[in-house]
Amino acid sequence: PRPHPTLRVRPLTCTETRRGDQQVVHSLGDGAVHVSAARHDATFGFSAVFDAGASQEVVFEGSGMRQLVELAIDGFSCTVFAFGQTGSGKTYTLMGPLGQSETQPASPALLGLMQRSFTCLLEQSRSRGSDLALSASYLEIYNEQVRDLLSPGPPCALPLRWSKTRGFYVENQLSVEFESLEAIVSLLLQGSQRRRTSAHALNRHSSRSHALLTIHVCSRAASACPSKQGTLCFVDLAGSERVKETGSSGELSVEANSINRSLLALGHCISLLAKPRGKRTHIPYRDSKLTRLLARSLGGSGITLMVACISPSSRCLSETLSTLHYASRARRVTTRP
């Protein structure tokens, strides 16, 4: 199937409202979204569009996330990735405001796709008896280095290798078994606190790395059928951005460049995958660590849910248009799970 491109438009923030930003993105219903500004007037189509009024629960139920969890239990490689400009709501969509404040637990209504998926997974696991083994690994890609977010101690880079049987894989990556919601949520918290973030003009807690949390679902099936190994991977991509807008300099601009380079590589792979099968050339997964790690879910046997996140503000117009174009390219990719 094709990836399901889903769009989420966050509400205007207080700052945006205060300085009088115009709202240039309007949902037209039926998956259509309209962008209108002085010299731009365009309509884009998605499987689903969630606008400012959509709750976290509506996004979970309406995006097909529940089905993705079930497919992972059935042994498929499933990936959900959130992308868009810094400050567009990626982390909020995946984790809720919990991504921002370590001290206060988020209200249950604000929990993101990740916690809702964990709950769904554990419910399924309980109803199927003890035949599901769950474990998690959590990585970030920071300045083209892969780091383990679960292993204790200072972050160190892990080698990314390739083998005929496994495809691309990370050597010595920690995988932690869990059986309860508290356990996996605490792994998520520990890991996301280790994530490399730095403050800049657009978002005080901007993530400067791509983060990949993978849940491995192994079903120890009855003796008659073989066991199944599925994965459910959540990818919080670092935001695309133009260096000028965020006031980045020095170390920050090195970060921005490596983020932009890997997003470009991802966009390139996606647009090549969008070509008809017969006309496809070589897909350059090796161009970045990100595309290597996503190779299986993008091109091969995976099922992907993409959540494009945008701000409705006139100030973000050009980044918003670029996110919308990026998402419409991905719409054409097909995979064979």
Assess 93 for contact with Mg ion (CB under 5 A).
no
Residue pair 87/239 in contact by the 8 Å Cβ criterion = yes
230's tokens: 């599925």
Q: Identify what 167 binds: Mg ion, ligand ADP, none; CB under 5 to 8 Å per kind.
A: none
Which residue's C-beta sits nearest to ligand ADP? Answer: 89
Contact with Mg ion (CB under 5 A) among 91, 93, 231, 240: 91
In the bound state with ligand ADP, the residue whose beta carbon lies nearer, of 59 and 122, is 59
Burial of residue 182, with CB atoms counted within 10 A of its CB: 0-12 exposed, 13-18 middle, 19 or more buried: exposed
Tell me which residue has tokens 């070589």: 282
Contacting range for Mg ion; rule: CB under 5 A; set: 54-62, 200-208, 214-222, 250-258: 200-208
Cβ atoms < 10 Å from Cβ of 331: 17
Residue pair 46/5 in contact by the 8 Å Cβ criterion = yes
Q: Identify what 86 binds: Mg ion, ligand ADP, none; CB under 5 to 8 Å per kind.
A: ligand ADP
Q: Identify what 13 binds: Mg ion, ligand ADP, none; CB under 5 to 8 Å per kind.
A: ligand ADP
Q: Identify what 142 binds: ligand ADP, Mg ion, none; CB under 5 to 8 Å per kind.
A: none
Q: How far is the CB of 12 from ligand ADP (least distance, A)?
A: 10
Contacting range for Mg ion; rule: CB under 5 A; set: 66-74, 108-116, 123-131, 203-211: 203-211
Which residue positions form the known binding site for ATP? 84-91
Instruction: For residues 113 and 80, give the distance between their C-alpha atoms in angstroms, rounded to a whole number.
Output: 9
Q: How far is the CB of 311 from Mg ion (least distance, A)?
A: 13
Q: How far is the CB of 181 from ligand ADP (least distance, A)?
A: 22
Contacts with ligand ADP, residue ranges (CB under 6 A): 10-11, 13, 84, 86-92, 97, 203, 205-207, 239, 309
In the bound state with ligand ADP, the residue whose beta carbon lies nearer, of 219 and 320, is 320
In the bound state with ligand ADP, the residue whose beta carbon lies nearer, of 51 and 70, is 51
User: Residue 309's closest CA among 95, 63, 10?
Assistant: 10
Under rule CB under 5 A, how many of the chain's residues touch Mg ion? 3
In the bound state with ligand ADP, the residue whose beta carbon lies nearer, of 3 and 312, is 312
Assess 246 for contact with Mg ion (CB under 5 A).
no
Distances (CA, A) of 163 to 26, 171, 226, 283: 46, 11, 23, 17
Q: How far is the CB of 89 from ligand ADP (least distance, A)?
A: 3
Assess 207 for contact with Mg ion (CB under 5 A).
yes
Q: Identify what 87 binds: ligand ADP, Mg ion, none; CB under 5 to 8 Å per kind.
A: ligand ADP
Residue pair 123/189 in contact by the 8 Å Cβ criterion = no
In the bound state with ligand ADP, the residue whose beta carbon lies nearer, of 211 and 330, is 211
Contacting range for Mg ion; rule: CB under 5 A; set: 151-159, 205-213, 217-225, 284-292: 205-213
Q: How far is the CB of 99 from Mg ion (least distance, A)?
A: 6
Which residue ranges make up the site for Mg ion (CB under 5 A)?
90-91, 207
